[in-house]
Structure 1
Amino acid sequence: MKKLFITAVFALGSLTAFAQEEQATEAQDAATEVQDQANEAQDAAQDAAATAQDGFNEIAVEELPEAVTSMIETNYPGASVNGAAKNEEGHYKVEVSLEDGTSGALIVDEEGNAVEQ
């Protein structure tokens, strides 16, 4: 009878330890996800601040002139526009990502011509 009791205690202890380990793993995964979201929000805030500092104010991608979007489609096939900004001179700063994973910013005028900064 003692052996049965001791075996039951060890089995219960093992299950409890396993459950606690699983809960700790889930808590760590949740904490990592929250940290990732915080990092993304901080990166977005830094990007917005950097855009404002260089004289460009963020606009909706839909507000880009047709000439600008056509130039991007022609010169960078498959590229996706991630963001856009406009300055007082009428120049547009367009954040694009290419299919190969690279990304960058283009500065163009209303006709889609490159602008030197």
Structure 2
Amino acid sequence: MKKLMITATIVLGTLSMQAGTTFIKTTKVQLETTQEEYKEIDAVPAAIKTALDNAYPGVKLEKAYVNEKKEYKIEIVVREVKSVVYTDAQGNILKK
């Protein structure tokens, strides 16, 4: 009799778990990134060179790019570590 009661309890418990309705809420996240177009240039203004020399002693300029807002993206090497620095035309370092 105990086995019958235990079996009935297990069967009813299993059936009630399968009969439950499951709701799944999904959220869509739309990520929009704006990447400003930078064009490669050969030389940077002297103010930028001076600012980089002061901020990063021993800096080497690898490549330089400029966008329409006259913001500069400069690839530099300091003590064999490559980095990218953003500046304005006056040499002020921007945080991006």
TM over 0.5: yes
Q: TM-score, normalised by structure 2?
A: 0.60
Structure 2, unaligned stretches of length 5 or more? 1-34
The structure that is helix-richer by fraction is 1
> Moved runs in structure 1, 4+ residues, more than 6 A?
none
Cα distance in 2 between the residues matched to 1:83 and 1:110: 16
Question: 1:54 offset after TM fit, Å?
Answer: 4.1
Q: How many residues align?
A: 62
- Other-structure match for 1:112: 91
Structure 1, unaligned stretches of length 5 or more? 1-52
- Other-structure match for 1:58: 40
Question: 1:55 offset after TM fit, Å?
Answer: 1.0
The structure that is strand-richer by fraction is 2
**Taking every aligned residue pair, what percent have the same amino acid on both sides?**
27
SS in 2 for 1:69: helix
Cα distance in 2 between the residues matched to 1:105 and 1:65: 17
Per-residue CA distance 1:63-83 (angstroms, 9 max, x = gap)? x11110001111111110000
2:60 counterpart of 1:80? yes
- Compute the RMSD of aligned alpha carbons: 1.3
Cα distance in 1 between the residues matched to 2:72 and 2:59: 17
